Chains A and B, each alone.
Chain A
Amino acid sequence: MLTKRIIPCLDVRAGKVTKGVAFKGNVDVGDPVEMARFYYENGVDELVFYDITASNEKRNIMIDVVSAVAAEIFIPFSVGGGLRELEDMRRVLLAGAEKVSIDSGAVRNPQLIKQGAKAFGSQCVVLSMQVKRVPENDEIPSGFEIFIDGGRRSTGLDAIQWAQRGVELGAGEIVVNSIDQDGTKAGYDLELTGAIAALAPVPVIASGGAGKPKHLRDVFVESNADAAIVASITHYGEFTIENIKQYLDSEGVAVRNTW
């Protein structure tokens, strides 16, 4: 049986992880390669690196990080942040990422999804969406709107319609990040995730709001998410990947427990 995936997200600025803190042992918590190795050895299913470097000059550092991770971590990982052109995607994939995650760049230029899928295959192209609840109106009938630029800028795009468009253009997976839930540790947005998972013929990855293992169980069982992104819940050592998987297993959720 296909298992539900747990995917830690590492925010990287100029080659350093911005949120890494309290791993046990001798882990340099600022080093994305060390954090990736730690997670890899502890049975994580996949990783996502988000490059939040502000300036373009420092983006080459991220390529070095990707190469270093790919040389010793043999599970899939995706890289996102600041990918605007096909060439940006190519560099990341050649450096060893399994997938690219495109977000604001895809909203500004939807053809980027199509070009990426054609050049590298849909399985390489992850469409990441920043979604916020707004009052329902003609433009946003679902009441879920797409935001870009780190959630600061509204777009007038309905999240449900954008997800459908993204799949039509060739996205192989969809990350649904709830701006409302992000950082709250109050759980994923089950309604939003469930609505997208119900219509998308591709895997849907929930993001934003994980505070305890039950939140992952809820989004897997109630919203039918295929994977869930975690950050602070595991970065700070509050829970280990193994803790979460044992809990999910006891709740009847299929997880990868051999590695």
Chain B
Amino acid sequence: MIAIIDYGAGNLTSVERAVSYLGFDGKITADAHTILSSEKVIFPGVGAAGATMDNLNAHRLADVLKTCYTSGKPMLGICIGIQILFDYSEEGDTECLGILPGIVDKFEATPQLKVPQIGWNEVHQTDSHPIFQGVPNPAHFYFVNSYYPIPAQPAVVIGKTTYGVDFCSVVARQNLIATQFHLEKSGRVGLRMLDNFLQCK
């Protein structure tokens, strides 16, 4: 069973639909025991960093996610799910999980650069990783974001995208993978990456 963490953020059902389309059993849950006993964990969603962390803390899930990480359980973060991994987010001056060192900053809006970024942008694979198996380099993915992660350790960055600045759009460390874009809304290449995660041992 794949636990899809429910922390009050939107867009959970589309992740569940994609998981089910690929032939896996996804379960939307905020229950610590269910999450700890799952094979894999996905933490998806759209929403604000502050509200997301408040929800995780209220359900005592911040520690559960950290335990999942240290125990080696395969984990996939999507959109807000990549941002909360870091120490801190500028969005609402929010202390995040601190699983990865680094911060989350906001795009600077200009007349040419609308914020949030909404649409399809290129992801350039900067390192080889099994999550990219069968995915063209570069390939387009669907983004909806005003904020972007700045990892303190360049080694965790495996994908980059340009929107005014070059930013980190995919990170990986040990059993953890996270994407700033929506895999579940990115057509066949997105499903391919999601399938790579679901198939991994």
Binding site for B on A (CB under 8 A): 1-3, 5, 40, 45, 70-72, 74-76, 93-94, 96, 98, 120-124, 172-173, 198, 200-203, 226-227, 256-259
A96 to chain B, nearest CB (A): 6
Q: Which of B69-77, B117-125, B126-134 contacts A (4 or more CB under 8 A)?
A: B117-125
Q: Which residues of B contact A3 (CB under 8 A)?
A: 119-121, 140
Q: Which residues of A contact B120 (CB under 8 A)?
A: 2-3, 5, 45, 256
Q: Which of B34-42, B93-101, B152-160, B180-188 contacts A (4 or more CB under 8 A)?
A: B180-188
Q: Which residues of A contact B189 (CB under 8 A)?
A: 258-259
Question: Once the chains bind, are A120 and B188 in contact (CB under 8 Å)?
Answer: no
**CB closest chain-A residue, reference B184:** A74
Describe B's contact surface by its main secondary structure: mixed
B100 to chain A, nearest CB (A): 25
**CB closest chain-B residue, reference A199:** B111
B18 to chain A, nearest CB (A): 6
Q: With the chains together, A172 CA to B117 CA distance in Å? A: 10
| Given A124-B10, A258-B138, 17 additional A-B pairs, CB 8 A | A1-B121, A1-B162, A2-B117, A2-B143, A3-B121, A3-B140, A40-B187, A74-B190, A74-B191, A75-B142, A96-B13, A201-B109, A201-B114, A201-B115, A226-B114, A227-B119, A258-B189
Question: Once the chains bind, are A2 and B13 in contact (CB under 8 Å)?
Answer: no
Q: With the chains together, A33 CA to B14 CA distance in Å? A: 17
Question: Once the chains bind, are B118 and A172 in contact (CB under 8 Å)?
Answer: yes
Q: Which residues of B contact A203 (CB under 8 A)?
A: 114, 118-119
Q: With the chains together, A256 CA to B189 CA distance in Å? A: 12
Describe A's contact surface by its main secondary structure: loop
Contact (A1, B17) CB under 8 Å given A74-B190, A201-B109, A258-B139: no
Q: Which residues of A contact B21 (CB under 8 A)?
A: 71-72, 74
13 contacts between A and B (CB under 8 A): A3-B120, A3-B140, A98-B11, A123-B116, A172-B118, A173-B118, A198-B111, A203-B114, A203-B118, A226-B114, A256-B140, A258-B139, A258-B189
Question: Once the chains bind, are B142 and A76 in contact (CB under 8 Å)?
Answer: yes
Binding site for A on B (CB under 8 A): 10-11, 13-14, 17-18, 21, 46-47, 109, 111, 114-122, 136, 138-140, 142-144, 162-163, 184-191
Q: With the chains together, A123 CA to B190 CA distance in Å? A: 20
Q: Which residues of B contact A98 (CB under 8 A)?
A: 11, 14, 185
Question: Once the chains bind, are B187 and A75 in contact (CB under 8 Å)?
Answer: yes
B50 to chain A, nearest CB (A): 13
Q: With the chains together, A93 CA to B143 CA distance in Å? A: 18
A230 to chain B, nearest CB (A): 16
Question: Once the chains bind, are A70 and B117 in contact (CB under 8 Å)?
Answer: no
Q: With the chains together, A186 CA to B184 CA distance in Å? A: 36
Question: Once the chains bind, are A74 and B119 in contact (CB under 8 Å)?
Answer: no
Question: Once the chains bind, are A259 and B118 in contact (CB under 8 Å)?
Answer: no
Q: With the chains together, A98 CA to B45 CA distance in Å? A: 12
A246 to chain B, nearest CB (A): 15
Q: With the chains together, A157 CA to B112 CA distance in Å? A: 27
Q: Which residues of B contact A258 (CB under 8 A)?
A: 136, 138-140, 189
Question: Once the chains bind, are B186 and A74 in contact (CB under 8 Å)?
Answer: yes
Q: Which residues of B contact A76 (CB under 8 A)?
A: 142, 185
Question: Once the chains bind, are A120 and B119 in contact (CB under 8 Å)?
Answer: no
Q: Which residues of B contact A70 (CB under 8 A)?
A: 14, 17
Question: Once the chains bind, are B136 and A2 in contact (CB under 8 Å)?
Answer: no
A199 to chain B, nearest CB (A): 9
Question: Once the chains bind, are B187 and A259 in contact (CB under 8 Å)?
Answer: yes
Query: Which of the listed residues A5, A76, A94, A257 has the most CB atoms from chain B within 10 Å of its own CB?
Result: A76
B6 to chain A, nearest CB (A): 14
Q: With the chains together, A226 CA to B118 CA distance in Å? A: 9
**CB closest chain-B residue, reference A123:** B144
B24 to chain A, nearest CB (A): 14
Q: Which residues of B contact A122 (CB under 8 A)?
A: 116
Q: With the chains together, A96 CA to B46 CA distance in Å? A: 14
Return the 4 tightest CB-CB contacts between A and B, nearest first. Answer: A256-B140, A256-B120, A258-B139, A3-B120
Q: Which residues of A contact B18 (CB under 8 A)?
A: 74
Q: Which residues of B contact A123 (CB under 8 A)?
A: 46, 116, 118, 144
A173 to chain B, nearest CB (A): 7
Q: With the chains together, A40 CA to B191 CA distance in Å? A: 13
